[in-house]
Amino acid sequence: MFKLLKEIFRTGEATVKYPFAPLHVEKDFRGKPEHDPEQCIACAACTVACPPNAIAMATDTDAGTRTWSIDYGRCIFCARCEEVCPTDAIRLSTDFELAVTTKADLTRQAVFRLARCEACDEPFAAAKEVAYVQDLIDKTAPSANEAARRRRSVATCPACKRARDVATVAALRFDRQPEETR
């Protein structure tokens, strides 16, 4: 009996104090993904990587906006979004207290402006993304001329880029000789 009591006192209390005291959570616990919209360039890498499609993007060309959204109710906390994010805009926090009474509270949204194509003036990509890539080009391009060409290319929508490429190739004036028939 005494031995048992001694053992009980030696062991102490195993139960955590959790709802009354904060729970110790490890630093690399995969909790709620925290999105920093100011650091986000709306490149959609996370929406492609997200296995359950909890992260989604919707483009509204009439309003000229692109809306990033996450549904914590669908998130499986795999951290693929964190892995692919080029600007560290999303990172899994240690916050696990996500229970809600209304489903709408499980969503987060961020609205980004779309940049307009410099050729056709149609919205085609997030303005922040275009600006970020142009900054990268300035840092990595081998020459000033090449940087200007690449900057222009990034600011053009894919359809106009194709049309421009066709015009460029036509201007090259390949003298293509028909193959000799046998």
Partner 1 sequence: MSRTPTTDAFRPTSGITRIDTPADIASMKGALLKDIQRSAYVYRVDCGGCNGCEIEIFAAITPIFDAERFGIKVVASPRHADILLFTGAVTRAMRMPAVRAYEAAPDPKIVVSYGACGCSGGIFHDLYCVWGGTDKIVPVDVYIPGCPPTPAATIYGFAVALGLLGQKLKAETHVEGADERVAIAHPNVPYNLRVLIEREARRMAGYRQGGDIAELFLTLLGTAGTGTLSERMARHAGLENDPRTLEILERLKGVVTAAMAGAAS
Calculate the alpha carbon distances from 29 to 47, 62, 162 in Å. Answer: 22, 41, 46
Residue 68: is it exposed, middle or buried by C-beta count within 10 angstroms (0-12/13-18/19+)?
Answer: buried
Q: 94 to 123, contacts with partner 1 by CB under 8 A?
A: 95-101, 103-113
Judge whether 158 and 119 are in contact, CB under 8 Å: no
Please state, in angstroms and rounded to a whole number, the distance separating the CA atoms of residues 112 and 120: 20
HSE-up of residue 136 (Cα within 13 Å, Cβ side): 10
Binding status of residue 135 toward partner 1 by CB under 8 A = yes
Q: Using the rule CB under 8 A, which residue among 53, 143, 145, 181 binds partner 1? A: 53
132 interacts with partner 1 by CB under 8 A: yes
51 interacts with partner 1 by CB under 8 A: yes
DSSP 142: S
H/E segment holding residue 157: none
The residue within the footprint of partner 1, chosen from 23, 120, 148, 169 (CB under 8 A), is 23
CB 59 within 8 A of CB 109: no
Quote the least distance from Cβ 46 to partner 1, whole Å: 13
Among 82, 119, 152, 160, binds partner 1 (CB under 8 A): 82
By beta-carbon proximity to partner 1, the closer residue of 26 and 180 is 26
| 164: contact with partner 1 by CB under 8 A | no
Q: Which residues bind partner 1 (CB under 8 A)?
A: 14-16, 18-19, 23, 28, 37-41, 51-53, 71-79, 82-83, 87-89, 95-101, 103-113, 127-128, 131-132, 135-136, 139-140
